[in-house]
Amino acid sequence: MAEPMLQVKNLSVEFHTAAGTVRAVKNVSFDLDRGETLAILGESGSGKSVSSSAIMDLIDMPPGRITSGQIIFEGRDLLKLSASERRKVNGHKIAMIFQDPLSHLNPVYTVGWQIVETMTAHGMSRPQARAEALRLLGRVGIPDPEGSMGKYPHQFSGGQRQRLMIAMALALKPDLLIADEPTTALDVTVQAEVLALLEELQQETGMGVLIITHDLGVVAEIADRVVVMNAGEVVETGDTRQVYRNPAHPYTRKLIGAAPGKGAMHDPLPSAEPVLSVRGARKVYGDFAAVEDVSFDLMAGETLAIVGESGSGKSTVAKMLLRLEEPTGGQALWKGQDLFAMPERQLFALRRDLQMVFQDPTQSLNPRMTVWQLITEGWVIHPGILPRSKWKARAAELLHQVGLKPEMAGRYPHQFSGGQRQRIAIARALALEPELIICDEAVSALDVSVQAQVIELLDGLRKSLGIAFIFIAHDLPVVRDFADHVMVMRKGRVVEAGTVRQIFDNPRQPYTQALLAAGLDPDPDVQAERRAARLAMAAG
Amino acid sequence: MTSIDIIPDEPKPLVRFARMLWADKFALAAVLFLTLVLVLAVIGPTWLGEVAQKQNLRGRNAPPFEWERGWLWILGADALGRPLLARIVVATQNTMMVAGGAVFFSALIGTVLGLVAGYAGPRTGQAIMRLADVIMSFPSLLLAVVVLYILGPSILNLVIVLAITRIPVYLRTARAEVLEVRERMFVQAARVMGASPRRIVFRHILPVVLPTLMTIATLDFAFVMLAESSLSFLGIGIQPPEITWGLMISQGRQYLTTAWWLSFWPGLAIILTTLSLNLLSGWMRIALDPTQRWRLEMRGRRNG
């Protein structure tokens, strides 16, 4: 058998930091052939991106250093090539697309110019390059290719930008395409389209695709084979289906087990009095209605999930309830008092009842405050909650409750991992003894295994303390195991609302159905079925 | 659970900062130099006041590094034969009072106004910004000349005028930073908790903005010293026989080709003071930032 197109052998990469040498990648080996899709699966810090950056020569040296290994591409060791030879390979033979297309497209040039530039830089004549760019834009599904050539990156949506990036990457007909988390920043429905496009293009051109992701669903959808990485090491390699069915390594088992959407669904009791009832909430920015006529009830101790894609107005609803945004109209009755009409002074007393956990704990915790200061701040603001003499004991108890050690109170947020930081944010919210916690994408920024732990923690708190939750998410599976009621939003309006069972088992609205269908299941077989169904639907 | 109520007390900040200062030798030198300057500012006039005023026409423009006249003449003498070293020491007090006072008050007022302008509603913000525009639209030296001509020159008036002309620098910087920081997530989190605007501004926003402002203030120190000397040159600043470093520089200007040391030594004093302040503010920026602090703590450990 012929040599595979790309072979990575015993690759090790070190980074020299002030805290000592970090071995980011240890003896990693994998190979990839033409027409094949290989996924590197791993959580943050697993070294998956570093491995692919080494192929593209994107590691900053120093502080990085490749200490051992070979990267053999079409029979040549890339690590031994000179810089100018390397440039001929990069872009020409190996292309890359990134997670955030906006930051990788130059905002001051038109997209047409940028695509043409890529081709002329490698020796194509301008008219020829222009014709080719037009063809590519049409191929990746950009509407009106002729007109789009003259537009700037910000005039496109997130999904379209990723298509543009793909067009640019394909401009030189590479043999290998590296995609680093290509769909992570996209909505589920758009994600499915982009992945489908990648697959089609691969079949057309016969290139190899190396996809780097943290999402089992993406792996199940697109990859032939998968390499699972953890802490810089390859823990498992194999056929996607086989790895999913018979994971050999405990870490892989843990990862697969942590995938949301498999547990039992909640069956909420038909309860009597809602603690919060929102009627006709509205928020208008100029001529644009971000939220239009949203109404719902929330019972004590229950979880309401608000699900929607970006721009659906779900976060605006949360911000209105907390009056971080001033509502334009409607009512929100919290135990009989209208939150929307309340003067600031009266609102202050209610603040401690309604708390919020934000998406990104790195940003929602003040980096200059210790855990102790963060947790006790609520008690400083609301002096009535707890006498100062009891602060220490209560703070320790809270930290314990969220699974952290009280000794950690003197540390700063940056000394914790992402999941731990979110726990600090939850402890801070709990310190005020709230009756309702609004979680705005509270687990979206976390790794899958950490996500599962945080959700478990929140669900435990709901049961033991009787706190009601409003859980805002863009992802349906996350909500499935946790919510009692689900409300699906789109373009500022409620599309469908019901108990979790109604929504997942009998979605009535086409949009809800589409959202469910677009979600990626970690099981490759389920995913293959869905894809077949989708293709059948598309074929009519 | 027995371990549940162990929350360790925070380590003593003074010890911590001393250790971090030890780790950065440049900052340490800066602190020592600034301490010396402060001590001289306090004791200088009583200690060397008389020597610094005594004329000695035989020693006019005496060159530096001539030991036979005594250590006070080591840096040479000015056009009236007064020892430069003594004059620099005596001038420290006036210089520090004018420059320190002007920088302190302009930074204080500018920062507070900037925080208010950034965090309060658009109307208040606009009003404050237009005020800054008014101040900035006058050339600062011209403004100083007019005001000092009316009020009469004195150290207090000089401080007031210089402080007012420098306010917009801090105001605009503070406002721009506040506008950015107020949108950060942790400010929203504080609002959700019910924190008052005052708490948000001073507890959450100010610590983020402060390092930038401190750096500006240290750079402004030199600017104010030189502005003061140009006012003195025009005859409306500090008047002889009172002296400041800036005044000494401008007095030495006419002898620059024949006796460089007249302007050089006070110039060096200004440079060293500004440099020290700058090094100190750089150190403070790191020492006060928990995410950066390890750089200093690591170094300290390796050295110790």
Residue linked to tokens 């200059």: A368
List CB contacts (< 8 A) between A367 and chain B: 186, 289-291
Please judge whether A393 and B191 are an interchain contact, meaning their C-beta atoms are less than 8 angstroms apart. no
User: Residues of B at the A interface (Cβ-Cβ below 8 Å)?
Assistant: 1, 3-8, 10-11, 184-186, 188-196, 199, 204, 207-208, 288-291, 294-295, 298
pTM over 0.90: no
**Residue B7 resides in a domain:** no
pLDDT of A46:
82
Q: HEC string of A180-240?
A: ECCCCCCCHHHHHHHHHHHHHHHHHHCCEEEEEECCHHHHHHHCCEEEEEECCEEEEEEEH
Please judge whether A378 and B8 are an interchain contact, meaning their C-beta atoms are less than 8 angstroms apart. no
pLDDT of B175:
93
**Residue A306 resides in a domain:** yes
Please judge whether B195 and A377 are an interchain contact, meaning their C-beta atoms are less than 8 angstroms apart. yes
**Residue B5 resides in a domain:** no
Q: How far apart are CA A75 and CA B281, in angstroms?
A: 55
Please judge whether A407 and B195 are an interchain contact, meaning their C-beta atoms are less than 8 angstroms apart. no
Look at the alpha carbons of A16, A18, A21, A25 in this order and tell me if their dihedral is positive or negative.
negative
**Residue A19 resides in a domain:** no
The tokens for B33 are 């130099």
Calculate how close chain A gets to B246, using CA atoms only, in Å.
39
List CB contacts (< 8 A) between B6 and chain A: 396, 406-407
Residue linked to tokens 């929140």: A458
Find which of B3, B5, B182, B186 to mutate to test the A interface (most A CBs within 10 Å of its CB): B186
pLDDT of B66:
75
Q: How far apart are CA B105 and CA B167, in angstroms?
A: 8
pLDDT of A372:
92
pLDDT of B176:
92
Residue B230 has pLDDT above 70, yes or no: yes
**B11: confidence class by pLDDT, cuts 50, 70, 90:** low
CA nearest to A353 within chain B: B193
Q: How far apart are CA A324 and CA B185, in angstroms?
A: 11
Find which of B6, B9, B192 to mutate to test the A interface (most A CBs within 10 Å of its CB): B192
**Residue B6 resides in a domain:** no
Range of the domain at B295: 13-303
pLDDT of B83:
85
Residue A141, SS3 per DSSP: coil
B301 or B276: which leads in pLDDT: B276
Q: What is the CATH number of the domain that holds B221?
A: 1.10.3720.10
Calculate how close chain A gets to B197, using CA atoms only, in Å.
11
pLDDT of A517:
81
Pairing of strands A354-357, A436-440: parallel
Pairing of strands A225-230, A337-338: unpaired
Q: How far apart are CA A65 and CA A60, in angstroms?
A: 8
Mean pLDDT for chain B?
A: 84
Please judge whether B191 and A368 are an interchain contact, meaning their C-beta atoms are less than 8 angstroms apart. no
CB distance from A452 to chain B under 8 Å? no
**Residue A63 resides in a domain:** no
Calculate how close chain B gets to A424, using CA atoms only, in Å.
13
Look at the alpha carbons of A151, A152, A158, A162 in this order and tell me if their dihedral is positive or negative.
positive
Q: How many domains does chain A have?
A: 1
CB distance from A358 to chain B under 8 Å? yes
No. of H helices and E strands in chain A? 22, 20
pLDDT of B205:
92
**Residue A24 resides in a domain:** no
Residues of chain A with pLDDT under 50: none
Find which of A353, A368, A379, A436 to mutate to test the B interface (most B CBs within 10 Å of its CB): A368
**Residue A134 resides in a domain:** no
**Residue A333 resides in a domain:** yes
Residue B145, SS3 per DSSP: helix
Calculate how close chain A gets to B67, using CA atoms only, in Å.
50
The tokens for A347 are 């609102």
Beta strands of A423-522 (E only): which ranges? 436-440, 468-473, 485-490, 493-499
**Residue B1 resides in a domain:** no
Q: How far apart are CA A469 and CA A22, in angstroms?
A: 40
Give the Cα-Cα-Cα angle A392, A395, A400 (nearest 5 degrees): 125
Q: Considering CB atoms only, which of B7, B184, B192 is closest to A322?
A: B192
The candidate with the shortest Cα–Cα distance to B5, out of A410, A400, A379, is: A400
Residue B97, SS3 per DSSP: helix
Pairing of strands A225-230, A208-213: unpaired
Q: How many domains does chain B have?
A: 1
Pairing of strands A485-490, A176-180: unpaired
Distance of CA A185 to CAs A188, A287, B251, Å? Answer: 9, 27, 66
pLDDT of A86:
83
Beta-sheet strand order (sheet of A329-334): A288-299, A274-285, A329-334, A337-338
Residue A471, SS3 per DSSP: strand
**B1: confidence class by pLDDT, cuts 50, 70, 90:** very low
Calculate how close chain B gets to A369, using CA atoms only, in Å.
8
Residue linked to tokens 């496009």: A197
Calculate how close chain B gets to A396, using CA atoms only, in Å.
6
pLDDT of A538:
66
Range of the domain at A445: 274-507
**B3: confidence class by pLDDT, cuts 50, 70, 90:** very low
pLDDT of A379:
92
**Residue A229 resides in a domain:** no
**Residue A338 resides in a domain:** yes
State the DSSP H helix or E strand holding residue A525, giving kind and residue range, or none if neither: helix A524-539
Residue pair B69/B62 in contact by the 8 Å Cβ criterion: yes
Calculate how close chain A gets to B208, using CA atoms only, in Å.
8
Q: How far apart are CA A305 and CA B131, in angstroms?
A: 49
**Residue B20 resides in a domain:** yes
Q: What is the CATH number of the domain that holds A492?
A: 3.40.50.300
- How many beta-carbon contacts under 8 Å exist across A and B? 98
Residue linked to tokens 């687990």: A443
State the DSSP H helix or E strand holding residue A287, giving kind and residue range, or none if neither: none
Q: How far, in whole angstroms, is CA A104 from its chain's centroid?
A: 18
Q: Which of residues 417-446 of A touch B (CB under 8 A)?
A: 425, 428, 432
Q: Considering CB atoms only, which of A351, A395, A407 is closest to B192?
A: A351
